[in-house]
Structure 1
Amino acid sequence: MKSQFSPSAFQQALASGQPVVTAEISPPRGGSVDHVLATAEQLRGRVHALNVTDGSRAVMGMSSVAVCRLLLERNLEPVLQVGCRDRNRIALQADLLGAHALGLHNVLCLTGDPVKAGDQPKARPVFDYEAVRLLQDVKNLNRGLDALEQPLPDGPTALFPGCAADPQSPSWSGLKSRLQRKKEAGAQFIQTQMVTDLAALRRFCRELAAPLDLPVLAGVFLLKSGKNARFINRMVPGASIPDGAIARLDRARSPRAEGLRMAAEQVAAALDVAQGVHIMAIKAESVIPQILDLAGVPPLTPPVVDGVGLRSLAAELR
């Protein structure tokens, strides 16, 4: 039993091999969605999809499912992050079924950052699953089966799962093994952690992702100052911003402008190696179009899915 669903503009762009751009946005830390929706609107026509974080860095925020649905209603294609830290397998499956019912089909399956990295370190982590097991559940749900591989009486889902990877991982064999497991579990695309080493990204794409036929969206992070870069190296798991980049920011007359130039350089370089980029500009998402302009990435043409616009697709999902 398989759910029938036409591929979205994001999914078609990945399948076509064309350059793909996504951007990360964070849910609000409160009841109003005005700011996050205004931020998303500024990225209309510049990115193929908006990736909505799920408790990133173990900091509380609004449900990513709710924000993704609000984006979809405004004809902006979302990618729903689903992390394993805060929910057990029953809750994760419930959220995946709910996401499908709401028309949210792109999901990025993550293990999740440790609680101690966040602002509520006394919270109790769950980690009933990790990313590979979550991907396996998505694969089963798409086949019309639950986690026990029993038939779903109300039909299958049509989820499009992606996974994360760190091309700069110190363990190449471990990275290779885990990526293979994620592919076997059903991953359809890769979104990398922040990558500052182009040679590492090139090797990752050539030796690991390409043989698995997995498109790669290379992570590009906007740095605002040398102090900001040092903070990220200290606080973000896996971050490794080189000393040369930090020194460049420290020397700049305008560190913020230099950060924009550095991000644009990384976007242009990454698009020569990977199929796409995933831009992370925390609390400065409004400058992403400027980064893309500096990198020579033109605005998108209006998305078309099987001869109809994304607006028509969103209407069908209602």
Structure 2
Amino acid sequence: MNWPHSDSTPSTSQLRLAAQQGQFLVTAEVAPPKGGDPSHMLVRAKALKGRVHAVNVTDSSRAMARMSPLAAAALIQQAGVEAVMQLACRDRNRIALQGDLMGAAAFGIPNVLALTGDPVKLGDCRDARQVSELEAVRLLGLIGKLNRGVDCNEKPLPDGPVSLFPGAAVDPQHPNFSSLQRRCDRKVQAGAEFFQSQLITDFERLQLFVEKIANPLGKPVLVGIFLLKSAKNARFINKYLPGVKIPDATIARLEKAADPLMEGVAIAAEQVKLARQLCRGVHLMAVKAEHLIPKILDCAGIAPL
């Protein structure tokens, strides 16, 4: 196995560099396998090389166990694709969180998205014990300490600091705008350098969020764009994803389409164009159809990197 800082694996955050240069940022999401074979995940990640600044690796999303994001992100890095390791507080205390963050640094994983984590009751192991010693804001503070070369107790790290580019999640469609602003302020104060949003359907609300909250904070927001595969898929999301309401007109458009999947690509591309007018980036989610992300970007006029 090549050591992570060899030429085959990037260790400097290209996402950080692109953000500092004011580029329009593009990330995409890939789920780790539910098992020990990473081959499908790696195929999906490699197909995105040169089209996205980094690939997000989820952390047992919706509290359903999958391969460790540390292992999955390390494999993606070794394949020559920059990763964003999502890290949830749900399953780890501060000892385990520090261990995974130091491990990420050792494997050359440059980016971390700090998450509180979906509640255990949403998943398929409902009898599991939820940890949640920290939450996203305190996790961001912990990353900042490790970046400064100290542990959670402010004691020096004898083997040197880490260098991680920390980000946070945001929901611009949150109904309580003042609460949303306070939460974003706290995350930036704790060290968040970028935000990735949940699936966005209300672009008027997004514009208000950008103007009133995001722009004053000065941190890039990557808008969540989801590839809808069919009207049935859209209705499922409306039923089971809290806070998301895909418009009836979009569902009708998918239902009438001769090829619903390609109509979904067209809708996603239109949303990328809208996002480009408002924000500094997009975060693309195309579950089990990641190979279509380059087509979405092409249709939206986003050139290869």
- Pick the TM interval, shorter chain: over 0.9
Is 2:118 the counterpart of 1:113?
yes
Identity %: 55
Is 2:235 the counterpart of 1:219?
no
Once the two structures are superposed, residues 64-112 of structure 1 have per-residue CA deviations (whole angstroms, 9 ceiling, x without a partner) of 1111111111211101100111111111111111111111120000111
Among candidates 128, 134, 154, match of residue 133 of structure 2: 128
Letter in structure 2 aligned against 1:35: H
Give the structure-2-normalised TM-score.
Answer: 0.93
Determine helix, strand or coil for the equivalent of 1:272: helix
Is 2:274 the counterpart of 1:288?
no
Higher RCO (CA 8 Å, separation ≥ 6 residues): 1
Letter in structure 2 aligned against 1:256: L
Equivalences, count: 296
CA contact (8 A) 1:71 1:77 kept: yes
CA distance in 2, matches of 1:67, 1:258: 31
Is 2:273 the counterpart of 1:279?
no
Determine helix, strand or coil for the equivalent of 2:278: coil
Letter in structure 2 aligned against 1:193: Q
Residue 60 of structure 1 deviates from its aligned partner by 1.2
Ranges in structure 2 where 5+ consecutive residues have no aligned partner: 1-9
Rate the CA distance shift 1:37–1:6 in 2: closer, same or farther, 3 A: closer
CA distance in 2, matches of 1:245, 1:110: 30
CA distance in 1, matches of 2:160, 2:42: 32
CA contact (8 A) 2:90 2:119 kept: yes
Among candidates 169, 174, 178, match of residue 173 of structure 1: 178
CA contact (8 A) 1:57 1:236 kept: no
Alignment of 1:26-37 (within 5 A): 26-37=31-42
CA distance in 2, matches of 1:227, 1:118: 22
Is 2:233 the counterpart of 1:196?
no
Determine helix, strand or coil for the equivalent of 1:122: coil
CA contact (8 A) 2:11 2:109 kept: no
Of 140-149 and 235-244, deviating more is 235-244
Residue in structure 1 matched with residue 144 of structure 2 by the alignment? 139
Ranges in structure 1 where 5+ consecutive residues have no aligned partner: 301-318
CA contact (8 A) 1:117 1:235 kept: no
CA distance in 2, matches of 1:128, 1:182: 17
Residue in structure 1 matched with residue 18 of structure 2 by the alignment? 13
CA distance in 2, matches of 1:94, 1:69: 14
CA contact (8 A) 2:254 2:264 kept: yes
Letter in structure 1 aligned against 2:60: G
Determine helix, strand or coil for the equivalent of 1:218: strand
Letter in structure 2 aligned against 1:106: N
Among candidates 240, 245, 248, match of residue 245 of structure 2: 240
CA contact (8 A) 2:27 2:52 kept: yes
Letter in structure 2 aligned against 1:19: F
CA distance in 1, matches of 2:73, 2:50: 17
Letter in structure 1 aligned against 2:174: S
Once the two structures are superposed, residues 119-178 of structure 1 have per-residue CA deviations (whole angstroms, 9 ceiling, x without a partner) of 222222211111001001001111112112222222211111000100000000000000
Give the structure-1-normalised TM-score.
Answer: 0.90
CA distance in 2, matches of 1:55, 1:11: 25
CA distance in 1, matches of 2:105, 2:276: 31
